[in-house]
Amino acid sequence: MSSNNNPYLLLTPGPLSTSHTVREAMLRDWCTWDDDYNLGVVQVIRSRLVRLATTSSGYTSVLMQGSGTAAVEATIGSVIPDTGKLLVINNGAYGARIAEIARYLNIPHTVLALKETEAPSPEVVNERLQRDQAITHVAMVHCETTTGMINPLEAVAGVVKQHGKIMIADAMSSFGGIPIDVDKLGIDYLISSANKCIQGVPGFGFVIAREEQLVQCKGIARSLSLDLYAQWRCMEDNHGKWRFTSPTHTVRAFYQALDELEKEGGIEARYQRYKNNQRYLVKGMSELGFNCLLSYKLHSPFITSFYSPEQKNYDFHCFYNALKEKGFVIYPGKVSDADCFRVGNIGEVYEQDIMALVHAVSESMYWK
């Protein structure tokens, strides 16, 4: 059962409900220059992240202050030269955000625009890469939390590698919650955040990068504070030192969260818990008459979109507040052409919590 002493459980794609021990880890202050912090915490985190991502050599990791989007922007803005061109595979709000970052930074790019309920086809990606030889980099969101869709990362990355392009995977809501081997998949840059499946708290993102690619990125960055190469070089040369003030409390909480991931049995065990959570969620909600937006084969194990009830007296905010009073916080929908709401099942959330949520939903269906 969730060991959460908050007034409600966050059933969202992050920030999410964390363990008491992760929150407790933030109760000590740390000096950013001290070896206990840099060598004992930061460098250990960096090496552990790489080990979670692959058993192969040749990869490194960089921690970046800010939100997950800051880490995405640092990557997009630091690894694509002016002579390069980015293909953005977009089937949701977060793919669209990558394209928006490229527009803001004046990076040459093109967008493969898909419906929010449409999975990217490796054949279509292949055709686009054949047609536009100027493309040098490809970016795709792995779990598009707009809908809860899990995009076919292995198939798309395979096509990208066949064409000799650089693959950027926004694994914000998936890394740590589903097995990914960046080397086997041919991923050059994988981006995620502290407050997702590793179950830390907000404050920094991280990039797991193929080192032979990252070393070529000196001088490309279009931002001082979001210079991915300079941040990596500083951490490499100064034993984990950050270029600017690091989010020490968040970093220490993440260190604790990594310990707890290991104690749970690693990524595979957490993946199974999340899958079970999502399966019980869909089963319970379906029995109450709620329909999923996506077909089950497209669902990620992280968040699920449900169509809103069609009754005229249904109001999401009333439903939301009724569930909140019972100890659960869900998410509004984000699909542009469908009335939906979303329920996440990652974080310090277990089968019992999902069962309790379904019961709370059944008691909150005032529109019936």
Range 65-89 average pLDDT: 98
Task: Specify whether the CB–CB gap between 113 and 173 falls below 8 A.
Answer: no
Query: Three-class SS of residue 144?
Result: strand
Range 55-75 average pLDDT: 97
Examine the pLDDT at 164 and tell me if it is beyond 80.
yes
Main-chain dihedrals φ then ψ at residue 204, nearest 5 degrees? -155, 155
Distance CA 253, CA 255 (A): 5
- Which H or E run includes 162? helix 153-162
**Mean pLDDT in the chain?**
96
* Mutual angle of helices 43-53 and 248-264, in 10-degree steps: 40
Examine the pLDDT at 1 and tell me if it is beyond 50.
no
Distances (CA, A) of 193 to 15, 117, 196: 10, 24, 6
Task: Specify whether the CB–CB gap between 326 and 363 falls below 8 A.
Answer: yes
Examine the pLDDT at 5 and tell me if it is beyond 90.
no
Q: What number of CA atoms fall less than 13 Å from residue 137's CA on the CB side?
A: 25
* Mutual angle of helices 266-287 and 351-363, in 10-degree steps: 20
Handedness of CA 126, 131, 134, 140 (dihedral sign): negative
Q: What percent of the chain has pLDDT over 70?
A: 99
The string of pLDDT tens digits covering residues 196-254 is 999 999 999 999 999 999 999 999 999 999 999 999 999 999 999 999 999 999 999 99
Examine the pLDDT at 43 and tell me if it is beyond 60.
yes
Main-chain dihedrals φ then ψ at residue 335, nearest 5 degrees? -80, 135
- Which H or E run includes 75? helix 68-79
pLDDT at position 4: 53
Peptide bond preceding 202: is omega within 30 degrees of 0, i.e. cis? no
Predicted TM-score (pTM) above 0.75: yes
DSSP for 234-283 reads HHHHTTT--SS---HHHHHHHHHHHHHHHHHTHHHHHHHHHHHHHHHHHH
**Of the candidates 42, 39, 44, 51, the residue with the CA atom closest to the CA atom of residue 250:** 42
Task: Specify whether the CB–CB gap between 195 and 201 falls below 8 A.
Answer: yes
Kindly provide the b/e burial profile for residues 121-143, where b requires at least 16 CB atoms within 10 angstroms of the residue's own CB.
Answer: bbeebbebbeeeeebbbbbbbbb
Q: What number of CA atoms fall less than 13 Å from residue 305's CA on the CB side?
A: 26
**Of the candidates 322, 325, 341, 321, the residue with the CA atom closest to the CA atom of residue 281:** 341
**Tokens of residue 124, six digits:** 């279509």
Distance CA 272, CA 283 (A): 16
Examine the pLDDT at 51 and tell me if it is beyond 70.
yes
Examine the pLDDT at 3 and tell me if it is beyond 80.
no
The string of pLDDT tens digits covering residues 255-274 is 999 999 999 999 999 999 99
Q: Beginning with the edge strand found earlier in the chain, give each strand of the sheet holding 59-65 in spatial order.
A: 59-65, 204-210, 189-193, 166-170, 137-141, 86-90, 109-113
Examine the pLDDT at 20 and tell me if it is beyond 70.
yes
Range 178-199 average pLDDT: 98
